[in-house]
Amino acid sequence: MTNLAFTHDEVVAVASLRDSGWPTRIDLSDIGTPTAADAAARRGARSLLARGLLGMTVGRAELSHEVTMPLERMSDLRHVVVYPARSSDPTDALYPLLYVHPSVDGEVVVELDSGDGIRGVTTMSNATVADHLTTTARSVFRREQSGDRPVLHLARVHPDGVELTVVSPGEIVVSTIESDGSATPSAVTPFFDTAIIRALLEPLGLEQEEQSA
């Protein structure tokens, strides 16, 4: 069972120590220069050393298995990103961002980017993740219309592109994200259908039982 939290400096340090970097997007806009990035990586490495998540072997820094195991599983291109948004437009994303990665032996690696510099990485059972996403989507769908409350985006990333499911009060819209970032709707559903959520999760190896709407 994995349950870790990383500061922004620690994430930068981990990314610098892995050939493939950090598996998901890192916002480096607040760092600015390569010199500042190096300083952040050094601070993060010292923190990881103090926590026992980084060690020195023959003068070389090595991340602990507790860190590398979930990150390797997060490196699979297939994943689902779940986040609130101001509208159906993919560019209107808000925090937090929840990354759901493929299942292995009945467990899913879930990463939470809170937007305040903290990244949480944990393992959860397939059923827990599927139930949580379905319950969240259903609650947004059944909510009364309100212009100032966010809708829910579920983006399925796969080798051939991105499919975006937008859940708003009384409507679910499934779209394909084009190369220019625009969304082309492929299906509009005026009722809550759990099969839509299952279709997002099944390629990750998650399964859930049929639930009533």
- Does the pLDDT value for residue 213 go beyond 60? no
178 pLDDT tier (thresholds 50, 70, 90)? confident
3-class secondary structure per residue, 92-118? HECCCEEEEEEEECCEEEEEEECCCCC
Q: In the listed set 73, 101, 129, which residue is the last one of a domain according to the structure?
A: 73
How many domains, in total, are found in the chain?
Answer: 2
Of the two residues 5 and 77, the one the predictor is more confident about is: 5
Any domain includes 212: no
The predicted pLDDT at position 168 comes to 93
The predicted pLDDT at position 146 comes to 64
Structural domain boundaries, residue 185: 76-204
Q: In the listed set 73, 104, 128, which residue is the last one of a domain according to the structure?
A: 73
- Report how far residue 176's alpha carbon sits from residue 40's, in angstroms, rounded to the nearest whole number: 37
The predicted pLDDT at position 211 comes to 41
Helices (H), 52-203: 65-74, 126-141, 194-201
Q: Are residues 53 and 125 in the same domain?
A: no
Q: Are residues 36 and 141 in the same domain?
A: no
Q: What is the pLDDT of residues 188-197, one digit of tens each?
A: 889 898 888 8
- Listed in sequence order, the residues at least 6 apart from 159 whose beta carbon sits closer than 8 Å to its beta carbon are 77, 78
What CATH number is associated with residue 44?
Answer: 1.10.10
pTM value surpassing 0.85: yes
DSSP state of 45: H
Q: Are residues 13 and 115 in the same domain?
A: no
